[in-house]
A and B are shown apart, each in its own frame.
Chain A
Amino acid sequence: AQSVTQPDIHITVSEGASLELRCNYSYGATPYLFWYVQSPGQGLQLLLKYFSGDTLVQGIKGFEAEFKRSQSSFNLRKPSVHWSDAAEYFCAVGGLTDSWGKLQFGAGTQVVVTP
């Protein structure tokens, strides 16, 4: 079955430390890949996207993500987190021929940043 998995429900990281959020997908072909961030009580904001080409994608707020076809992964990273990065992060896939126009979201990873 097609799926998007974010294995970590909750991550706690110290301010200034590095952050990596995992995302794995299970689809026959390479989908379009996205990372979104949601602060409490707000809508989702697009951090970055991958359609094709360079497998290392730069996004807003200092985030980057790497697509690894062999691992069906699209992990999000930030070298040094700030307190304002505390939020929920969603991985999503789209561009699927049998559900064109729709996104499949992972369950989300809650990130807590400690001083």
Chain B
Amino acid sequence: SQTIHQWPATLVQPVGSPLSLECTVEGTSNPNLYWYRQAAGRGLQLLFYSVGIGQISSEVPQNLSASRPQDRQFILSSKKLLLSDSGFYLCAWSNRGYEQYFGPGTRLTVT
């Protein structure tokens, strides 16, 4: 069966510090991968999605970036965090456009 992992589970970082969140998927090959953000009391905002290694599409202009160095690994990064980057970050995978399956999320607090 497929599983999706995210780490860390929680993170507190000062403004201006770098960020790296990691997502890995097991039990499937060549999935679509997605990064979402949920701000407090808000819905889901799609940040990035990837249909293959090295292929990243950005949905929203921001100071975040994403990379997919391996088939089942998706990384969300920032060089300098802003207060507005605080939120709950969710990674998801899907098999070519159908339903998405979500990871447990990372709670990021920028102080």
Contact with A along B12-43 (1 / 0, CB 8 A): 00000000000000000000101000000011
Give CA–CA (A108, B103) in the complex, Å.
18
Query: Are B103 and A101 touching (Cβ within 8 A)?
Result: no
Cβ of A95 and Cβ of B97 under 8 Å apart? yes
Complex Cα spacing A94 to B94, Å: 11
A86-115 vs B, Cβ < 8 Å mask (1 yes, 0 no): 000010001100001111011110000000
Q: What is the total of A-B residue contacts with beta carbons within 8 Å?
A: 50
Name A's interface SS: loop
Please provide the chain B residues from 22 to 77 with a CB less than 8 Å away from any CB of chain A in the complex. Answer: 32, 34, 42-44, 46, 49, 51
A101–B94 contact, CB under 8 A? Answer: yes
Chain B interface secondary structure, helix, strand, loop or mixed? Answer: strand
The residue of chain B having its C-beta at the shortest distance from the C-beta of A6 within the complex is: B43
Out of A34, A45, A90, A94, which one reaches B44, CB within 8 Å? A90
Minimum Cβ distance to chain A for residue B96 (Å): 7
A42 contacts the other chain (Cβ, under 8 Å)? yes
Give chain A residues whose Cβ lies under 8 Å from the Cβ of B94.
Answer: 101
Asked whether, in the complex, the Cβ of B32 is within 8 Å of the Cβ of A46, the reply is no
User: Does B104 sit within 8 A of A, measured CB to CB?
Assistant: yes
B7 at the interface (CB under 8 A from A): no
A32 within 8 A of B: yes
Given contacts A95-B97, A95-B98, contact A41 B43 (CB under 8 A): no
Cβ contact within 8 Å between A43 and B104 = yes
8 extra A-B contacts, CB within 8 A, seeds A44-B92, A103-B46, A108-B43 = A32-B99, A42-B105, A43-B102, A43-B104, A44-B44, A46-B100, A94-B98, A102-B49
Residues of B whose CB lies within 8 Å of any CB of A are 32, 34, 42-44, 46, 49, 51, 88, 90, 92, 94, 96-105, 107
